[in-house]
Amino acid sequence: MENSVDLRRLQKSIGYHFHQKKLLEAAITHPSFDGAVSNYERLEFFGDSVLSTILSEELYRRYPEKSDGDLSMYRTALTNGRFLAELARELELGTFIRTKAIINPQQRDSIHENALEAIIGAMFLDSKYSKVRKTVLRWYDPFAERLERELKRTNPKGRIQELICSLRPNSVLDYRLIAETGEDHERVYSIALYCENELLGIGSGSSKKVAEKNAAFHALEVIFQRAKLQI
């Protein structure tokens, strides 16, 4: 940043005070920014894992009755790009991110998402896990209401269909029942999602519809994670 006032404003906005200001500066610097010594790419990679750990722990504690498939679906809903970009805007990160002056709307969402994850990674390197966890969960407050709203907005089967159509035109998705367990009144169904005989994801639920939705969520999580590792 050009001056310390901006850094103070940013730290107030995110609710965290950095001891190592260089970490914060790197976390808000896009690779395109001229003259930057470091940028947010490595921190974003790290922060993505930290965020996943924080949310996994919180979901595990909050919903002891939910299956691993449900918890995975919830985590995916709370880490999708659109949601993280909106969360970054709530924290007014766009005011502080250093990048080229002209970017299109699609790039802007991605930059907001990446900067948010980079800041999480920077906080972890600057402090201890418990403090970072407390800060991040404050951003997500009210947690249950945000999760419920995001689940209503998310259509995983539609999203995976659109994604596969764009990546593999003319390919067909196939939801296959692979297991049924439990008593008649507590039946659990397991569904595997395939595309041209390639396994994309597996989900389970109390109905075939729920299991298919969870399989689609799992497939989205796997595909997005692969994409991040390839960037």
Q: How many angstroms separate the CA atoms of 87 and 224, rounded?
A: 19
Cβ atoms of 43 and 113 within 8 Å: the answer is no
Instruction: Reply yes or no on domain 156-230 having CATH 3.30.160.20.
Output: yes
Cβ atoms of 218 and 201 within 8 Å: the answer is yes
Q: What type of residue is 137?
A: L
Q: What is the pLDDT along the chain (231 residues), one digit of tens a residue?
A: 443 338 899 999 999 999 999 999 999 998 888 766 688 999 999 999 999 999 999 999 999 988 887 888 889 889 988 899 999 999 999 889 988 755 655 578 889 999 999 999 999 999 999 999 999 999 999 999 999 888 877 778 888 888 888 888 888 999 999 999 988 777 889 999 999 889 999 998 888 988 998 899 888 878 776 655 443
Q: Say what the pTM is.
A: 0.70
pLDDT for res 106? 58
What are the structural domain ranges in the chain? 4-153, 156-230
List Cα–Cα distances, 195 to 118, 125, 138, 198, 203, in angstroms: 33, 40, 39, 5, 15
Sign of the alpha-carbon dihedral angle for 230, 68, 79, 116: negative
pLDDT for res 2? 41
By annotation, the residues acting in catalysis are: 48, 117
Which class is domain 4-153?
mainly alpha
Q: How many angstroms separate the CA atoms of 25 and 4, rounded?
A: 11
pLDDT for res 114? 93
Residue 93 DSSP symbol: G
Q: How many angstroms separate the CA atoms of 193 and 200, rounded?
A: 6
Q: How many angstroms separate the CA atoms of 229 and 4, rounded?
A: 34
